[in-house]
A and B are shown apart, each in its own frame.
Chain A
Amino acid sequence: MTWTCIHSEERLADYLEGQLEAGERALMEAHLAECAACRGLAAQVSWISGRLPHLPPEVVPSGLVFRILEATSGTAGQKRATSWKTVLAGLLSPRFALGLGTVAATLFILSQALDINPRKITMDDLNPVNLYRAADQQAHLTYARGLRFVNDLRVVYEIRSRLEEASATPVPEQQAPKNAPAPQSEQKLKNDLLRHGSSLTAAVTLAGLGGEL
């Protein structure tokens, strides 16, 4: 048989790993001796496959393990309790606004499971601790429902962790100008809270209506 460049390429890994039987190896080496292109390629492949296993691994982004735990078992977040002031502050972040639909859906599911009227929902109803208590008090809560509840609670925890992240990073646009008096910026924050509070209520109401359709 004639040993071509195509054969050399096909058998390159085996050749470099010493896996070719004597006959093929002789043909390969004869080809490499007279073909500069294949020789160059073999050298380059040999070099890069020797380097690849020793490349430094990418650094895992900080907080990724934490976020994974929060999204799965939820165990990483249990030690901290969050007040609804912090949560509402987080509502101002654009990142959260995108997730409002999901939140609305979750709130709806939660309200169904716990017999909370979505139109009369209060801030306390949304506190994870109270959600837990309410679930406890529901003597007729079935196992399946409980499972669904835990899953939804996980979403709540995930939301909380994102909100905490958002509130931990100061957003420059939200800071008052240097010369502006402090009370004014406080007033602005209150207004923002009110505005977002009402849009949250709207979302919850929408979710409630959606469920009735």
Chain B
Amino acid sequence: MEPDSQLVAHCLRGEAAAWEELVRRHTRRVYNLAYRFTSNRQEAEDLSQEVFLRIYRTLASYRAVHGEFTTWLTSVTRNLLIDHYRRTRRDRLTDSIDEEGSPAEHKAAPGRRPDEVASASELSVQVQQALGKISPELREAVILRDLQGLDYREIQQVLSVPEGTVKSRINRGRIELARLLTQMGVTGDSAS
């Protein structure tokens, strides 16, 4: 498989097929990050388009020496997510009063007996509900580390904060997530 930096070089020479390959390769990553952060499929889709539009326009400014293409792509995605978060903050505050804080897309998970085994997709929905309730700072740290698999150094680049801050946000994010899941009756005991 051709490395991303090679594909970028082809894109800059005007090869449409290279751009198409780049988009195909990374749409899932961008869409998943956006969906995990917003909990909304339509918003995630719109944001993914926005991300690639920005990448397309600024592709010439990407330099492989500054890091992996995925790190750059993740930074662009993350910045747009934060812009979007700030832009829609007011609407969301109003919404959450109406809906008593529950994310619009997910109904409360039906109660499960502790001995029932949680399937991965069931857990995925429950994690999404819990993620929506933690602060965006902690949320993005957990998503980048545990769902997108970035290492500390990459997250440091994406968030432009020191390593200590990255570590502490991931730690606090996991703890909040764990507590929320416990409150929802979703625990390791019930799924093991």
Contact = CB atoms under 8 A, between A and B. Distances in A.
A82 B138 CA distance: 48
A64 interface: yes
A41 B179 contact: yes
B15 to A, nearest CB: 10
Interface string A5-38: 0000110111000000000000000000000000
A181 interface: no
Contact of B48 (A9, A64, A73, A75): A64
B120 interface: yes
A13 B171 CA distance: 5
Contacts of A13: 167, 170-171, 174
A173 interface: no
Contacts of B32: 57-58
Given A9-B175, A53-B147, A55-B120, A69 B23 contact: yes
Interface residues of B, number: 45
Contacts of B177: 48
A51 interface: yes
Contacts of B124: 55-56
A89 B54 CA distance: 31
Given A47-B188, A64-B48, A72-B52, A12 B175 contact: yes
A68 interface: yes
Interface string B13-43: 0001101100110011001100110000100
A80 B122 CA distance: 41
A73 B16 contact: yes
A52 B147 contact: yes
Contacts of A41: 175, 178-179
B28 A60 contact: yes
A61 interface: yes
B123 A51 contact: yes
A65 B24 contact: yes
Interface in A118-141: none
B53 interface: yes
Given A13-B171, A55-B124, A69 B49 contact: no
Contact of A53 (B41, B149, B171, B179): B149
A191 interface: no
Contacts of B175: 9, 12, 41, 45
B178 A44 contact: yes
A10 B171 contact: yes
Interface in A37-96: 40-41, 43-49, 51-58, 60-61, 64-65, 67-69, 71-73, 75-76
Contacts of B120: 51, 54-56
A95 to B, nearest CB: 12
Given A13-B167, A73-B16, 11 more contacts: A10-B171, A45-B174, A47-B191, A49-B174, A52-B127, A56-B124, A61-B45, A65-B23, A67-B49, A69-B23, A72-B56
Interface of B: 16-17, 19-20, 23-24, 27-28, 31-32, 35-36, 41, 44-45, 48-49, 52-53, 56, 120-121, 123-124, 127, 142, 146-147, 149, 167-168, 170-172, 174-175, 177-179, 181-182, 187-188, 191-192
Interface of A: 9-10, 12-14, 40-41, 43-49, 51-58, 60-61, 64-65, 67-69, 71-73, 75-76
22 contacts: A12-B171, A12-B174, A13-B167, A41-B178, A44-B182, A46-B188, A48-B188, A53-B149, A56-B124, A58-B35, A58-B36, A60-B31, A61-B45, A64-B31, A64-B45, A64-B49, A65-B24, A68-B23, A71-B49, A72-B53, A73-B19, A75-B19
